[in-house]
Copies of this chain bind each other. A is one copy, B any other.
Amino acid sequence: MEKNIVWQLGKITKAQRVNALKQKAQCIWLTGLSGSGKSTLAQALEMKLHTAGQHVYILDGDNIRHGLSSDLGFSSADRVENIRRIAEVSRLMVDAGLIVIVAFISPFRADRALARQLFESDEFVEVFVDSPLTICERRDTKGLYLKARNGTISEFTGISSPYESPENPEVHLDSANLPVEDCIEKIWCKMQKLDEFFQFD
């Protein structure tokens, strides 16, 4: 095999992958309280992008907590490690040319800052899905707030663990009042804007 140095051509580049997929690879990072609407928005955005012919993938509790992070619990240290792994996987997927939608509470500023620094500035869209705690708790779709209040779950964001609001998110959504269509439109517009100076070869 040593003779075949013609094969030592190196790897295909990110630019080549992105060109082949004809899209701007990006990480759309949805952060907000449990029940704020992250999953609904992630699915609606995925639908819109897929329908528009783009190649997109959602990273959320369903496919991360049972797999890559199945060895982690919900202590502070484990939650930090969970977000770190999600950020690293997002980076790999963006490097592969995909649009990745991350839907995790990701309550700590420092963790989101670490995620952001893995990407180019035009690749990372932090979306603050901002719904008041009272509304999220009243909705309580997964029954988690009830468990947090009666102590069955500890370190629950908003109840027994802090949520640190983004200071300068690319998109800030009043998700308790803004219809899903309008939320998606705001994210879409921001994505297009970042895509503005991006040219396919």
Contact = CB atoms under 8 A, between A and B. Distances in A.
Given A40-B1, A179-B1, A57 B96 contact: yes
Copies in the complex: 2
Given A17-B57, A181-B4, A47 B93 contact: no
The contact size tier of chain A is 35 or more
B55 A21 contact: yes
B96 A50 contact: no
Interface string A70-101: 01000000000100010011011101111000
Interface in A43-57: 43-44, 46-47, 50, 53, 55-57
Given A1-B175, A85-B68, A96-B98, A43 B10 contact: yes
| Residue of A1, A95, A175 with most partner-chain B CB within 10 A | A1
Contact of A183 (B1, B11, B12, B81): B1
Contacts of A46: 11-12
B180 A7 contact: yes
Interface string A52-65: 01011111000100
Given A7-B43, A9-B43, A57-B92, A20 B50 contact: yes
B63 A97 contact: no
B176 A1 contact: yes
A177 to B, nearest CB: 8
